Structure 1
Amino acid sequence: MIWKLLLAPVFLYFIIVLAMFLFQDRLLFPAAMVGGARMPPGAELLRLQAASGETLHGLHLPAAGGPAAAGSPLLLGFGGNGWNAAAAAEYLHALYPDHDVVVFHYRGYAPSTGRAGAAALTADSLLVHDEVARRFPGRPIVAIGFSVGTGVAAYLASRRNLAGLILVTPFDSLRDVAATQYPWLPVRLLFRHPMPSAEWLRGRRLPVAILAGGSDTLVRPECTDALRKAVPNLVFDRTIAGAGHNDIYQRSAFQLAMDGALRAIKR
């Protein structure tokens, strides 16, 4: 009887570990919970076919008031895991109305097809970049990543020549973020979506801007600090006091910092 009582917590722990392992894709990429995309006024629909057969849907919001200025960078956005492309594009366009903005729905996020995952999202980033470069020949491209999108943008920067990179609430590794959230689980052994942003950016000379929340409890300061140390050309670094991981976007200090980040990239 006593040994059964002793084994009960062990069995419960095993069940929790197994559940976290099996359902980590849905926890990290909750595509089914993201609302449908409402197309912003004036948006151009974009569509891509991945080599594996999936269809990726995106949109282009042109610069307000006519064509963007000559040499003005095109902004390629990568949202967080709870964003759809339309919301990310509208937010970026509100911040930078004088720039063209392109954002695609991640694989598995309707109306894009397939199944979301770190390997799929990073691979698709190259396809998206190359299509944007084809559609807008000669335009410099600045990638802007939010939350998990910073990992996607970091991977793209390691494989393509970008004009710059703006990372909002970024991390050194998604595996490390998960490990800080669940220190009582063997995360590093079981995690399938590592996204090692620091490794991808180490040695890359493109200008990088980092914006973090001073009260972010999801991506903790040590995860962002480790990324900072890996970036050779950090041209802008701002921590928004009191901002958390999700409420940072509504803060005026953050919106001003985003303007400063793009200016620093352009310089």
Structure 2
Amino acid sequence: MKKLLIKGLKITVCLYIIVCTLLYFFQEKLIFFPEKLAPDYRFAFSQPFEEINVNAPDGVSLHNILFKARQSKGVIFYLHGNMGSLRSWGKVAQLYLSMDYDVFMPDYRGYGKSKGSIDSEMQFYADMQADYNTLKKQYPENQIIVLGYSIGTGPAANLAAANNPKMLILQAPYYNLKDMMGKRFPIVPTFLLKYKFDTAAGIQNCRMPVTIFHGDADEIIYYGSSLKLQTHFKSSDTLITLHAQKHNGMTDNPEYVDAISKILGYNNGSPTN
């Protein structure tokens, strides 16, 4: 019996090591779920838009869409979630366009029409900075608002901290990916994670106002993540809790629409200063 127990323990340890090794080398497959689009794919958005290609520092072509409002007060740099492509994410732009903001949306490497594939956190940050530098040629930074949703919140916070946009808005953010991993997969050692995406560190280095929206019924990124982030707030920062809101569908939530319209200076359909 003792020998069987020892043998079983050895097998369990070996399987654990194998699983951890696979997680380390293939973790991109567990974090990012891109939808690829053909280079000649035609988007069917009803609002005016422009497709913009930006070269990353290593020469990889990154695809972006700039949606144009009728009377623009500025632009929202929107970092989307970990699934899909701009084919579906582009629909989110309509809300902000209706509030007189242009919307700039990048597709990450390997997503949509963007070339290449994601293989490091620093590469991801460098890509977003290249896009931001391109956007600055059209808009002064005091007219740029960085907005990140879900997986996009860590990179959004890092991008805002490295630059001087008008504001940072985060939807359903995590504290950092190590914290998320520890919460959801406590038996997996966090040192295996190559992608830290430290939202907390980014917020601490932000000089502009930060607003966080998080649903208290979020089943993907637990609401406590935002409570932890709140401990790093400046006096100008705000956490807005959306009651009974799950992870998806935040943009359609009337509470969110009402709050974001005030933040963007658009009250009851009438622009405010």
Distance in 1, Cα, partners of 2:124 & 2:16: 31
2: distance between equivalents of 1:38 and 1:234?
Answer: 42
CA contact (8 A) 2:217 2:243 kept: yes
Determine whether 1:61 maps to 2:64. no
Equivalent position to 2:255, from 241, 247, 253: 253
Quote the Cα distance in structure 1 between the aligned partners of 2:71 and 2:141: 14
CA contact (8 A) 1:122 1:152 kept: yes
Structure 2 alignment gaps of length 5 or more: 267-271
**Equivalent residue number for residue 129 of structure 2:** 126
Pairing of 1:75-224 with structure 2 (within 5 A): 75-97=76-98, 98-116=100-118, 117-137=120-140, 140-186=143-189, 188-224=190-226
2: CA distance, partners of 1:50 / 1:7:
46
Equivalent residue letter for 2:145: V
How much does 1:59 deviate?
0.9
Native 8 Å contact 1:89 1:102 kept in 2: no
Cα distance 1:137–1:221, how it changes in 2: closer, same or farther (>3 A)?
closer
Which runs of structure 1 show a deviation greater than 6 angstroms over 4 or more consecutive aligned residues? none
Separation (CA, whole Å) in 1 of partners of 2:247 and 2:135? 29
In structure 2, distance between residues paired with 1:35 and 1:108: 7
**Secondary structure, counterpart of 2:206 in structure 1:** coil
Deviation at 1:139, TM superposition (A): 5.9
Aligned to 1:50: 56
Contact 2:84 2:111 in 1 (8 A): no
1:16-44: CA deviation from partner (whole Å, max 9, x where unpaired) = 2222222211111122xx26475223211
Task: Kindly provide the amino acid, as one letter, of the partner of residue 13 in structure 2.
Answer: V
User: TM-score, with normalisation over the residues of structure 2?
Assistant: 0.85
How far residue 83 of structure 1 moved from its aligned partner, in angstroms, is: 3.9
Counterpart amino acid of residue 26 in structure 1: K
Aligned residues: 258
The verdict on how the C-alpha distance between 1:237 and 1:38 changes in structure 2, with shifts beyond 3 A counting, is farther
Give the aligned CA root-mean-square deviation in angstroms. 2.3
1:20 aligns with 2:23: yes
Structure 1, residues 199-240: CA drift from partner, whole Å, max 9, x if none? Answer: 122142301110001112322233222212213144432111
Would you say the 8 A contact 1:17–1:185 is kept in 2? Answer: yes
Q: 1:67 is matched by which residue type in structure 2?
A: Q
Following TM superposition, by how much is the alpha carbon of 1:257 offset from its aligned partner in structure 2, in angstroms? 2.9
Q: Which runs of 5+ in 1 are unaligned?
A: none
Quick check: 1:118–1:193 contact (8 Å CA) kept in 2?
Answer: yes
Instruction: Summarize the alignment of residues 31-46 of structure 1 with structure 2, pairs less than 5 Å apart.
Output: 31=34, 34=35, 36=37, 39=43, 40-41=45-46, 42-46=48-52
Question: Hey, what's the Cα distance between the residues in 2 that align with 1:138 and 1:240?
Answer: 29
Once structures 1 and 2 are overlaid, which stretch shifts more, 144-153 or 38-47? 38-47
**How has the CA–CA distance of structure 1 residues 35 and 49 changed in structure 2, closer, same or farther, with 3 Å as cutoff?**
closer
Q: 1:221 to 1:137 in 2, by over 3 A?
A: closer
Answer yes or no: is 1:7 the counterpart of 2:10: yes
Range that drifts further, 9-18 or 248-257: 248-257
* 1:142 CA displacement: 0.3
Q: Percent identity?
A: 25
